[in-house]
Chains A and B, each alone.
Chain A
Amino acid sequence: GAVVSQHPSWVICKSGTSVKIECRSLDFQATTMFWYRQFPKQSLMLMATSNEGSKATYEQGVEKDKFLINHASLTLSTLTVTSAHPEDSSFYICSARDPTSLSSYNSPLHFGNGTRLTVT
């Protein structure tokens, strides 16, 4: 259980274009999903919390107009990197909590396989 699927696994795009990354919960419903970003040899940094049916909550320093998050259903959240630039090249990973845990509010995150974005 608690399988999170992310697509695409890698993408190369030109500077100035937009890229959409999809995150799906395959065998459970996720009212909340979390988007992380990881630069080489650095840790995961939380970008935003995606909430089904409402606006995402962005972490300090993350531009909400640049990183558009849509959580239109209980199984799908999308992250769109708009007007991408080379400094946006990174590993983007979505995650959701294990819904089978007795106490889901503090249960561990399960991650998608990540999307490696390269902006040329």
Chain B
Amino acid sequence: QKEVEQNSGPLSVPEGAIASLNCTYSDRGSQSFFWYRQYSGKSPELIMSIYSNGDKEDGRFTAQLNKASQYVSLLIRDSQPSDSATYLCAVMSGGFKTIFGAGTRLFVKA
């Protein structure tokens, strides 16, 4: 079982719609969770961090965490073509290591 799992996609949504990205992780002791966006050929950039169960909103982005289900999600409201990228879920497990999922490719159609 992979430590951090994501649907590779591609996920295609029309402009203005809500994009929903999901992630599950295997280490029940994980405490820190992150979403990164990576454009083709570029390094990842941080979108959000979440540490507690529930929702965390930042602009058009909402991260959701459910530790009991070992599940993290990212919602992007009012999706824009510029949101088209690969979204990486990352989980910090024991020992300071941050483990990344394979990423979900998102396409926002104009």
Contacts and interface: CB of A to CB of B under 8 A. Distances in A.
A46 B96 contact: no
Interface stretch (A14-22, A65-73, A74-82, A110-118): A110-118
A62 interface: no
Interface string B41-56: 1111110010100000
B96 A111 contact: no
Contact of B96 (A32, A42, A45, A116): A32
A116 B32 CA distance: 29
Contacts, number: 47
A43 B92 contact: no
Interface residues of B, number: 22
A106 interface: yes
A107 B51 CA distance: 10
B46 A110 contact: yes
Interface residues of A, number: 21
B100 interface: yes
A25 interface: no
A43 B42 CA distance: 13
A106 B32 contact: yes
B97 A113 contact: no
B88 A43 contact: yes
Interface in B30-64: 31-32, 34, 41-46, 49, 51
Contact of A109 (B41, B98, B101): B98
A108 B46 contact: yes
Contact of A114 (B42, B51, B96): B42
A49 interface: yes
- Give 7 nearest A-B pairs by CB, closest first: A106-B32, A111-B43, A114-B43, A43-B102, A44-B100, A43-B100, A108-B34
